[in-house]
C-alpha cells in the first residue's frame, strides 16, 4: 500500500508536473478523492519517505473542518429536538392539545425538555389550555439541514450557525492537513530504494549500472568517538610521583635503559659471580657489547673492595674480571641509576667540582638528622638528598600472568648523616600510608648492596592476606664509601613495581592486559579503592 501510494504520487507528478492539493488524489482501491483526515495521514507517510530521498518536495496546509458528535449524528438523522416536539403535536384547532406529561412519553424526557423551549421560540408551537399544539402547519428544520451539510462536506456555508451548533455540542472541530507536492531535485518515477553500498553481487550481476545510489550526506554528524585516555600505568605513576613530590623528593633524570655491568652490579657491590648476573636473568647486548671504562680512580676503588676488601670489609676475595664489569646490558633495576646519582651526589665529598651533578636534585638541609656539632664541623661537601625515579627495567624472566620481561620500578633513596633502620621503617610507613596502605610489616631479607635489608609486606583487606609490596634496605659501606661519602652518611632505599599496585587498583589479573595493544579493563568496575 505504502509503495503504491508513492507510485501514485510519482506518476501524478510525472503526468501533471505538480499536485496542487493532495485531497484530489484518488488512492488505490478507492473511488472517491482522498479528502478524509486518515487518507491525508497515509499520503504524508509516502511524501516523507520520498522527500527524504529528494524525489519530491512538499508543503503542508492546515484545514479546520467540522464533524458531528454522536448527538449531532442522531439529530441529523431524526431531526432536531424542536422539530420532533412539533411533529407529535396536533395543529391548533385539529385535536386535543398534548399535556407536558404526555409529550415526555411521546418523545422522551430530553427531547421534550430541550425541544419545547426552542419550538416556542421559533413560534412553531403554542399553549392551548393545559396542553400544547402546533401553530405552524409546516416548518423548516434548519438545525437538521445544517447538520446534514456538515456531515457531508465537513463545513457549513452559513458559517454564522456554527458557534451555536458547537455550543450545543452537536459538532466538533477537526484539524486536518493537505499537501502541495512538487518534483524534487532527484525526481524519478522509480520507487526502488537507492542503494547505499556497492556490493560484489551488484558488480557480478551488472545491476550496478542501472541502480540508483544514495547520495553521501556530508552534513551528517559523525559517530562520536571515545576520547583518548591515560593508560592506567600512567595514572598510577602520576599518583606515586605526587606522593614523592609532596614528601620533598626530587625526580632523578631518566637514564639510559642500557647500562654496564659496572653500574648495574659492581658499583652496588654485587659479586661478579652473583646468579642475578646470569644470562638467564639479565639481557646482555651483543652490539655494542661493552661499555667505555668508568672514571679510573673510582673504578679502582670498586674493584679493590670486591677483590681485597676495604672500608672495614673483607671483600669477596674472588678474582675481579674487567670483562664482566664492562658488559652492556638492559638494566635489571633502577638502582643502577640511583647508584650513578649517588656517585654524582658525592662529587663534592671527593673534592670534585660539580658540573651537571646531583646538586640540582638535592634538597639541601631538608629533614637532616645532623646534630649541632656536625653542622658546625668543617664542610665535607655532603648535602642530604631525597631522590626518586619511576622507570622501566628489564629481566630475562619466563613470562606468565604476573611476570613480563620488562616492567616499571618505583624507587626512592634518602641520603643523610646517621640515618638508622628506624628512619627507613618510619619512611616506609608514611610512604605506603600515602598510597592507601596502612598495615605494613617488615621481614629481614638479603640484597648484596644493602644491610640490613627488609622486605615490605602489606595486609590486603580484600584478599585477606599479607602480600609483598616492596624491597628495601640501607646501602652498604662497600658501596657508599668508594663513591666518596663520609663515613657518617647513610643512604637507604626501597623499590617496588608500578605494575602490581596498578593491577590491584584496576582489578586486572593478567599483567599482559596492561601492555597489549588493546588495554581492556575488565575488572575496572569492581576495582578496589585501595591501591595495593
3-state secondary structure of 467: strand
Helix (H) or strand (E) holding 446: strand 440-447
Q: How many residues bind ligand PHE (CB under 6 A)?
A: 11
Of 145, 107, 140, 109, which is closest to residue 122 (Cα–Cα)? Answer: 140
Pick the binder of ligand PHE from 40, 326, 337, 450 (CB under 6 A).
Answer: 450
> In sequence order, what are the residues at sequence separation of 6 or more whose Cβ sits closer than 8 angstroms to the Cβ of residue 299?
262, 293, 325
391 binds ligand PHE (CB under 6 A): no
3-state secondary structure of 65: strand
473 binds ligand PHE (CB under 6 A): yes
Q: Which is nearer to ligand PHE, 112 or 270 (CB)?
A: 270
417, β-bridge pairs: 489
Instruction: Measure the CA–CA gap between 151 and 330, rounded to whole angstroms.
Output: 96
CB of 342 to ligand PHE, least distance (A): 11
CB of 295 to ligand PHE, least distance (A): 23
Instruction: Measure the CA–CA gap between 166 and 147, rounded to whole angstroms.
Output: 11
Instruction: Measure the CA–CA gap between 316 and 305, rounded to whole angstroms.
Output: 8
Pick the binder of ligand PHE from 419, 493, 500, 505 (CB under 6 A).
Answer: 493
Q: Which is nearer to ligand PHE, 80 or 447 (CB)?
A: 447
Cell output for 244:
614523592
388 binds ligand PHE (CB under 6 A): no
Q: Which is nearer to ligand PHE, 421 or 528 (CB)?
A: 421
Instruction: Measure the CA–CA gap between 245 and 334, rounded to whole angstroms.
Output: 18
395 binds ligand PHE (CB under 6 A): no
User: Cβ(436)–Cβ(530) under 8 Å?
Assistant: yes
494 binds ligand PHE (CB under 6 A): yes
Q: Which is nearer to ligand PHE, 35 or 338 (CB)?
A: 338
Instruction: Measure the CA–CA gap between 252 and 310, rounded to whole angstroms.
Output: 30
Instruction: Measure the CA–CA gap between 353 and 349, rounded to whole angstroms.
Output: 9
Instruction: Measure the CA–CA gap between 26 and 273, rounded to whole angstroms.
Output: 102
Q: Which is nearer to ligand PHE, 71 or 468 (CB)?
A: 468
Q: Which stretch binds ligand PHE (CB under 6 A): 166-174, 290-298, 344-352, 467-475?
A: 467-475
Binding mask 321-360 for ligand PHE (x = CB under 6 A): ------------x-x-------------------------
Using Cβ positions, the residue closest to ligand PHE within the complex turns out to be 495
Torsion of Cα atoms, 417 then 422 then 428 then 430, to 10°: -90
118 binds ligand PHE (CB under 6 A): no
Q: Which is nearer to ligand PHE, 111 or 337 (CB)?
A: 337
User: Cβ(393)–Cβ(497) under 8 Å?
Assistant: no
Q: Which is nearer to ligand PHE, 143 or 332 (CB)?
A: 332
CB of 243 to ligand PHE, least distance (A): 17
Cell output for 276:
642475578
Q: Which stretch binds ligand PHE (CB under 6 A): 58-66, 145-153, 167-175, 493-501?
A: 493-501
Q: Which is nearer to ligand PHE, 164 or 278 (CB)?
A: 278
Pick the binder of ligand PHE from 495, 500, 505, 506 (CB under 6 A).
Answer: 495
Q: Assign residue 210 a region: left if phi > 0, alpha if psi is -120 to 50, beta otherwise?
A: alpha
Q: Which stretch binds ligand PHE (CB under 6 A): 255-263, 275-283, 425-433, 487-495?
A: 487-495
- Give contact residues for ligand PHE (rule: CB under 6 A): 333, 335, 411, 447, 450, 471-473, 493-495
Amino acid at each position: 500500500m505504502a509503495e503504491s501510494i508513492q507510485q501514485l504520487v510519482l506518476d501524478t507528478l510525472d503526468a501533471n508536473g505538480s499536485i496542487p492539493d493532495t485531497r484530489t488524489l484518488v488512492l488505490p482501491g478507492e473511488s472517491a478523492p482522498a479528502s478524509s483526515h486518515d487518507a491525508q495521514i497515509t499520503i504524508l507517510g509516502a511524501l516523507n519517505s520520498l522527500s527524504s530521498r529528494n524525489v519530491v518536495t512538499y508543503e503542508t496546509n492546515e484545514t479546520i473542518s467540522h464533524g458531528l458528535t454522536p448527538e449531532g449524528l442522531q439529530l441529523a438523522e431524526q431531526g432536531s429536538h424542536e422539530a420532533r416536539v412539533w411533529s407529535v403535536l396536533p395543529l391548533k384547532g385539529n385535536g386535543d392539545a398534548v399535556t407536558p406529561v404526555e409529550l415526555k412519553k411521546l418523545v422522551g424526557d430530553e427531547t421534550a425538555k430541550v425541544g419545547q423551549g426552542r419550538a416556542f421560540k421559533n413560534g412553531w408551537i403554542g399553549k392551548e389550555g393545559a396542553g400544547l399544539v402546533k401553530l405552524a402547519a409546516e416548518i423548516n428544520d434548519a438545525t437538521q439541514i445544517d447538520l446534514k451539510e456538515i456531515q457531508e462536506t465537513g463545513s457549513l456555508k452559513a458559517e454564522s450557525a456554527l458557534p451555536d451548533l458547537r455550543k450545543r455540542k452537536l459538532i466538533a472541530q477537526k484539524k486536518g492537513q493537505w499537501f502541495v507536492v512538487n518534483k524534487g531535485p532527484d525526481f524519478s518515477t522509480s520507487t526502488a530504494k537507492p542503494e547505499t553500498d556497492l556490493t560484489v553481487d551488484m558488480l557480478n550481476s551488472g545491476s550496478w549500472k542501472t541502480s540508483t545510489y544514495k547520495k553521501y550526506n556530508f552534513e551528517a554528524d559523525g559517530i562520536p568517538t571515545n576520547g583518548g585516555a591515560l593508560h592506567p600505568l600512567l595514572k598510577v605513576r602520576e599518583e606515586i610521583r605526587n606522593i614523592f613530590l609532596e614528601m620533598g623528593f626530587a625526580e632523578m633524570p631518566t637514564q639510559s635503559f642500557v647500562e654496564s655491568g659496572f653500574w648495574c652490579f659492581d658499583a652496588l657491590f654485587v659479586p661478579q659471580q652473583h646468579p642475578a648476573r646470569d644470562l638467564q636473568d639479565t639481557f646482555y647486548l651483543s652490539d655494542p657489547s661493552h661499555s667505555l671504562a668508568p672514571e679510573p680512580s673510582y673504578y679502582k676503588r670498586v674493584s679493590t673492595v670486591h677483590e681485597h676488601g676495604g672500608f672495614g670489609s673483607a671483600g669477596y676475595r674472588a678474582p675481579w674480571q674487567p670483562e664482566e664489569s664492562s658488559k652492556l646490558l638492559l638494566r635489571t633495576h633502577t638502582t643502577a641509576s640511583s647508584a650513578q646519582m649517588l656517585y654524582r651526589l658525592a662529587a663534592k665529598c671527593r673534592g670534585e667540582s660539580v658540573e651537571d651533578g646531583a646538586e640540582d636534585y638535592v634538597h639541601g638541609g631538608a629533614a637532616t638528622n645532623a646534630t649541632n656539632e656536625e653542622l658546625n664541623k668543617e664542610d665535607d661537601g655532603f648535602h642530604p638528598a631525597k631522590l626518586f625515579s619511576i622507570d622501566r627495567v628489564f629481566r630475562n624472566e619466563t613470562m606468565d600472568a604476573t611476570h613480563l620481561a620488562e616492567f616499571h620500578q618505583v624507587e626512592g633513596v634518602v641520603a643523610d648523616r646517621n640515618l638508622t633502620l628506624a628512619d627507613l621503617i618510619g619512611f616506609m610507613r608514611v610512604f605506603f600510608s600515602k598510597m592507601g596502605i596502612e598495615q605494613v610489616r617488615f621481614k629481614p631479607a638479603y640484597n648484596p648492596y644493602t644491610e640490613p635489608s627488609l622486605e615490605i609486606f602489606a595486609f590486603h583487606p580484600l584478599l585477606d592476606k599479607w602480600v609483598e609490596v616492596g624491597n628495601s634496605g640501607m646501602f652498604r659501606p662497600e658501596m657508599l664509601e668508594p663513591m666518596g661519602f663520609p663515613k657518617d652518611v647513610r643512604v637507604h632505599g626501597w623499590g617496588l613495581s608500578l605494575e602490581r599496585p596498578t593491577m590491584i587498583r584496576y582489578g586486572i589479573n593478567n599483567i599482559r592486559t596492561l601492555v597489549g595493544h588493546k588495554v581492556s579493563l575488565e575488572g575496572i568496575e569492581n576495582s578496589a579503592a585501595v591501591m595495593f
